[in-house]
Amino acid sequence: MPGIQAKHLNAQYWINKHAAPDKHIMDKAAIISFNQKMLRENPYVNDPLAYPDSLSGDKLKAMIKQTSPRSSYPRFYPSGEAVTDEDWTKFIATLNNKAIAEFNPVTFGIAIKRSAMRTFPTNQRILNDGMDIDIDRFQESAVFPGEPVAILHSSADNKWWLVRNYNYTAWVEKTAIAKADRAKIRAFTKATKRLIVTGAKVFTTFVPDKPDISNQLLDMGVSLPLLSHKNFDNELYSQNTAYSHIVEFPTRDANGELVLKPALIAMARDVSTDYLAFTPTNLLQQAFKFLGERYGWGHDYNSRDCTGFLGDVFKTFGLIMPRNSSQQGKSDYAHFLRFAEGLAETEDTTALLSSLTLGDIIYLPGHVTLVIGNENGEPFMIHDVKGLAYMDEQDYVESTLNGVSVTPLTPLYLNADTRYIDRVYHIKRFGAAHENNRD
């Protein structure tokens, strides 16, 4: 990558360059206020437990139509076979629209494991005409252990639910969700003592013959109730508890109902008993924990994409945001600069680029990046990115990154005629207002 040296791949290098690396970008009160406003005003974020007891048939049909549209572009199976009109008819039939009544009950549940959120209720991978095997067009996002969901509808084969978590609606396999009443789930999510996963990936401790709480994958930002050691007489699952955290873990009984069980997480794991302070140091350290992880479209591959990467980092500070880059970029929160035609069209592009600083979030169509610092007027960023294109002297070069990468901003191209900075339409900054804030 042009302009990248080994020093740029170390979070501490950028921490050392920052004037106040341990100053709060937002304190806890500001984060609580931010989340409350997000839930109150942002159309892409909601409390799933606040859903009504039922949805009208028209409302549910509209949600399914928006969640599960037939693509207007050619789509293909991994074998190279085209998805036919007959295939689309079968996919649409799985949506079970015939079962929609005038009024449809809403129930609730908790995710018991990391699971895919899908466009249609199927695990069939569907590719675009470029046959990029990494981009499954039916993959939308993911739910994570402990996340509450509203259950809105069932698939025709009764194996999938249409669910809404805090920032997305899609299809999830029923085996990934445990049903419970609203009050029980609310108590679980509102437990004040919690353990926050601050590593890229953490696993619960292995326990023989207990697969529902054993070696369970927990991604960065997962939050679970923390239990007191006093209730376990220093032993759990034939292991001394003195060297582990004990969390309340959601599991599913034979009837699909929620059963909360204690699970162990070793004290050596990268976890915290509180949300991290939202400081430049912590922001850099959290982001760099993903450096080199393979790109995962829609949280595919037990990984994450550009917005999934940022969302998981910001969850460790207790912040919630919309799921997709366009939803984030076009939403009116945080201090921002907005451009109609991209950075290159502004008169003070050079000055603006020089002013970009750690924590600024840059949006361009279909992508989002996090600024980690500025060196000699050049903004550097960390982002989860698929492709790589740049000009090498006079030659246009296309290559790949396909993972969480550190790059400078200005050398990058989207195609032979378009630079990244030509398409930037929004820059967000949390905390203090941007000096050049404008609409």
Q: What is the pLDDT of residue 347?
A: 54
Asked if residues 169 and 68 have their Cβ atoms less than 8 Å apart, the reply is: no
Give strand ranges (E) for 26-122. 54-56, 103-105, 107-111, 115-118
Ordered DSSP codes for 270-312: SEESSPPPB-HHHHHHHHHTTTTPBB-GGGGGGSB-HHHHHHH
Fold observed for domain 191-272: SH3 type barrels. (2.30.30)
Ordered DSSP codes for 146-214: T-EEEEEEE-TTSSEEEEE-SS-EEEEEGGGEEE--HHHHHHHHH-SSEEEE-SSEEEPPP-TT-TTTS
State how far the Cα of 2 lies from the Cα of 438, in Å rounded to an integer: 32
Phi, psi of 172 (to 5 degrees): -130, 140
Q: What is the pLDDT of residue 284?
A: 98
Handedness of CA 31, 37, 43, 46 (dihedral sign): positive
Tokens 């036919």 sit at which residue? 84
State how far the Cα of 23 lies from the Cα of 25, in Å rounded to an integer: 6
Alpha carbons within 13 A on the beta-carbon side of 214:
8
Q: What is the pLDDT of residue 330?
A: 86
Nearest to 68 by CA among 203, 132, 147, 162: 162
Nearest to 174 by CA among 88, 241, 220, 116: 116
Q: What is the pLDDT of residue 438?
A: 30
Same CATH topology for 6-26+278-312+319-429 and 191-272: the answer is no
Nearest to 148 by CA among 118, 95, 186: 186
SS3 content of the chain, % helix, strand, coil (to 5): 25, 35, 40
Q: Apex CA 432: angle with CA 426 and CA 433, to 5°?
A: 50
Q: How far is CA 335 from CA 18, 118, 361, 428, 439, in A?
A: 20, 33, 10, 6, 10
Percent of all residues in the chain with a pLDDT value above 90, rounded to a whole number: 87
Asked if residues 276 and 317 have their Cβ atoms less than 8 Å apart, the reply is: yes
Tokens 């994450």 sit at which residue? 304
Q: What is the pLDDT of residue 434?
A: 34
Tokens 């840059």 sit at which residue? 362
State how far the Cα of 250 lies from the Cα of 176, in Å rounded to an integer: 10
Q: Does domain 48-188 have CATH number 3.30.413.10?
A: no
For the record, the structure tokens of 121 come out as 């209720």
Q: What is the pLDDT of residue 344?
A: 62
* Digit-coded pLDDT (tens) for 97-142: 999 999 999 999 999 999 999 999 999 999 999 899 999 999 999 9
Q: What is the pLDDT of residue 437?
A: 33
Torsion, Cα of 34, 37, 38, 39 (10° steps): 130
Own/partner pairs for 1-10, CB < 8 Å, 24+ apart? 1/388, 1/390, 1/401, 1/405, 1/406, 1/407, 2/390, 2/392, 2/408, 2/411, 3/378, 3/407, 3/408, 3/411, 4/406, 4/407, 4/408, 8/380, 8/406, 9/291, 9/406, 10/288
394 versus 434: which is more confidently predicted? Answer: 394
- 318-339 average pLDDT score: 88
pLDDT band at 275 (very low <50, low <70, confident <90, very high): very high
* Digit-coded pLDDT (tens) for 81-94: 999 999 999 999 99
State how far the Cα of 162 lies from the Cα of 173, in Å rounded to an integer: 9
Handedness of CA 222, 148, 31, 373 (dihedral sign): positive
DSSP at 84 = P
* Digit-coded pLDDT (tens) for 148-179: 999 999 999 999 999 999 999 999 999 999 99
State how far the Cα of 375 lies from the Cα of 24, in Å rounded to an integer: 23
Superfamily name with CATH number, domain 6-26+278-312+319-429: endopeptidase domain like (from Nostoc punctiforme) (3.90.1720.10)
Asked if residues 432 and 280 have their Cβ atoms less than 8 Å apart, the reply is: no
Q: What is the pLDDT of residue 439?
A: 28
* Digit-coded pLDDT (tens) for 3-62: 899 999 999 999 999 999 999 999 999 999 999 999 999 999 999 999 999 999 999 999
Q: Helices 280-288 and 306-315: crossing angle, nearest 10°?
A: 130
Mean predicted lDDT score pLDDT of the chain: 94
Residue spans per domain, the chain: 6-26+278-312+319-429, 48-188, 191-272
- 351-360 average pLDDT score: 86
Q: Which helix (H) or strand (E) holds 353?
A: helix 349-355
**pLDDT > 70? residue 343:** no
